[in-house]
Amino acid sequence: MKNPKKSLHLDFDKNPVNIDYIDHANGMSYIEITETTPDENGKKKKARLSKAQFNTLVNGLLQFQTNFQEELNQEFQALTDAEKQHITQQYQAGASAKELGDSLHTTEALIKMVLQSQGIKNP
């Protein structure tokens, strides 16, 4: 019998995910990741990772995060002052950071970075 010690629900738009830290009755501990939306056969996809596998996965993801941040910084530096001002004006007129990212074919993270650089807190 499995006993979840901790659970985390990630509410992605089309594919929510549950991540559970499980202590099994046999003494084993593992991470179980479950997509909560069933596939075409009605089954939910699951992955079980040992602590070592989970740590390796997290370290790999952290490396990706560093790369993403570097790319985001480069994109931010490439924006002109006029583009940053336009983004800020559109946000202040009522557009959300997500809407601006979609309409400008960029990421919500970049839009938030621009807004914060323009003095807008917690966009």
Q: How far is CA 118 from CA 18, 28, 74, 78, 106, in A?
A: 36, 50, 17, 16, 18
Residue 83 DSSP label: H
Tell which wins on pLDDT, 110 or 42: 110
Neighbours of 61 (CB within 10 A): 10
pTM, whole model, 2 decimals? 0.60
Neighbours of 25 (CB within 10 A): 8
pLDDT (tens digit per residue) in 21-60: 998 888 889 999 998 887 788 888 889 999 899 999 999 9
According to DSSP H, which parts of the chain are helical?
51-78, 81-92, 97-103, 108-117
Mean pLDDT of the chain: 90
At 1, is the pLDDT very low, low, confident or very high (cuts 50, 70, 90)? low
pLDDT (tens digit per residue) in 54-103: 999 999 999 999 999 999 999 999 999 999 999 999 999 999 999 999 99
